[in-house]
Structure formats: structure tokens, C-alpha cells
Amino acid sequence: MTSASPALRTLRFGHSPDADDAYMFYGFHAGMAAIDGCRVEHVLEDIQSLNRRALERGDLEITAVSAHAYAHLMDRYAALACGASMGVGYGPVLVSREPRTLDSLRGRRVAIPGPLTTAALLLKLECPECEPVEVMFDHIPEAVLSGEVEAGVIIHESQLTYRDKGLVKVLDFGELWLQRDGLPVPLGLDVVRRDLGAALMRAVSEGFRASIEAAHAHEDEALAYALQFGRGLDTGQGRRFVRMYVNPMTLDMGELGRRALETLYARAHRAGLIHEVPRLEVV
């Protein structure tokens, strides 16, 4: 992280306490990336809390949010070209205690990691008649195992470890999107507050991209830093998880990433799950 100075403006960057977000922040943390005239301070909160904070307060200048939440934030924040979380053939996984079909979950309680998460939106699109139950993301496997809910949509590291806990896959939303749509499933975005002005918004985008590039250039060191936030992942699992969600589209979502987001929003709008399709201004 850059050293404090009275002349520097502080920009607060909200991100989840998980390995992929921490990996992307490594360049800022290690002083290998900077935003001119600013110091970057990271704020750690789970993704649903960051979604709510952006929606209700909008006090963080830069923040990770769910792609779902951005549909409600477009007037206050612009999307960054870098930092997007896109699952290419993998994504949030709907799990249960025993093999079952998606149709069998109609009218059943299914855990979600928060109503503004993309995981919740994907579930409602594919299984609109289930009953979503909000559960803290890292408690969802236990809620399923205990019978508190019939199934749950897991995110973050649990995507790699759910089988070890005795859970089985009902549906991987990333697999579905790739097979059905030929697209990555768009999950998260990093966004910048519009009132910073065009020049500083561009500087934020360039600085964050440099932070990710620095992590790639020093992968072992960045991974060691990121695994402090890995919730029990070993080095091999951590490397696999980071490479899943810090992929080429993370440096620049590009046209494919835009198409994936447009598809998500159009589908959600047709289903009546968002009021309008957000205009995608990417910085």
C-alpha cells in the first residue's frame, strides 16, 4: 500500500475477504501500483454487505459489487473494464445433500448468499418457484448439511471444497451458461463512483489494472498474500481458485464480457427481476 501523505487523497476500495479479490489488490498492497495523487485504502466486507453499502450509502469511491447489484447502482457508479469476475464454464454451484433435479426444488427453501448477489439472481432465473433464504455465504454448506434448507447456492472457495463436505452438485451456473449460451457467466464487477470525474475514474482503472498485472508478475508472492483470505485453501487450491476468477477477462472484460452482462440483464428484465436494463458505461 502506498505511504500516507497529507497531500494525497484517500480512495477507499471495498472488496471481499477472499483470495481472488486480495490477489488483485496485491499491487496496491505491495506498492507496485498506484493512482496518481491518491493513496488506496482497502475496506474488507462480504459481497452482500458491499452491495448494500453501495446501494444505501455510496460512500466507497471504488468497490466490488455483484453484477446483479450493479443494475441498481448504474446512476452512482460506472463499471471498470478491469476487475470483473467471469466464470468460464464454472460459477456458483447449486448443491444439495443428495442427487436431485432442479424441478424438485420448486417450493423448497434454498440458501442464497444475499438477495443482491448474482448467485441469487441466477437461481431465480433458473428456478423461479423456489423459496430463497438468505444465509451468510460461508455458512451455506452447513445450512444444507443440517437440513435447514433443501439446497444452497455456494460461492467463493466452497466451489472447490463442497464435495469434501459430502454435498453434491445440482447445477453449476457457469457450466449452464457456457453450454447453453456460449458465454461466461458474469458474477462480479469493480465499480468507481461517477462523482470522482472522468480523469480520476480513468486513473483508477489504470491503477487497478497495474495492481492486477503486478500480481501476475509476482504470482507466488501475490498468492501467499491472497491466501491469508483463503479460508482454509491450501496453496494448490488457492492457485486454482485465483486462476479461475482472475482470468484474461479480469484485465479487460472486452466485448465477450459486455455481451455476457447484457445477456444477464436482458434475461433478468424479461423475468421481471430488475426494473430496467442498466446502461453499461465501462471505464
The string of DSSP codes covering 81-115 is SSS-EEESS---EEEESS---SGGGTTSEEEES-T
Tell me if 5 sits within 8 A of 40, measured CB to CB: no
At residue 250, what are phi and psi to the nearest 5 degrees? -75, -35
Distance of CA 13 to the CA centre of its chain: 14
> At 161, which helix (H) or strand (E)?
helix 158-161
Query: Measuring CA to CA, which residue among 18, 17, 55, 13 is closest to residue 33?
Result: 13
Angle between helices 235-245 and 219-226 (to 10 degrees): 100
Q: Is 42 a catalytic residue?
A: no
Q: Given the residues 29, 156, 216, 218, select the one marked as catalytic.
A: 156
Return the active site residues.
Answer: 156
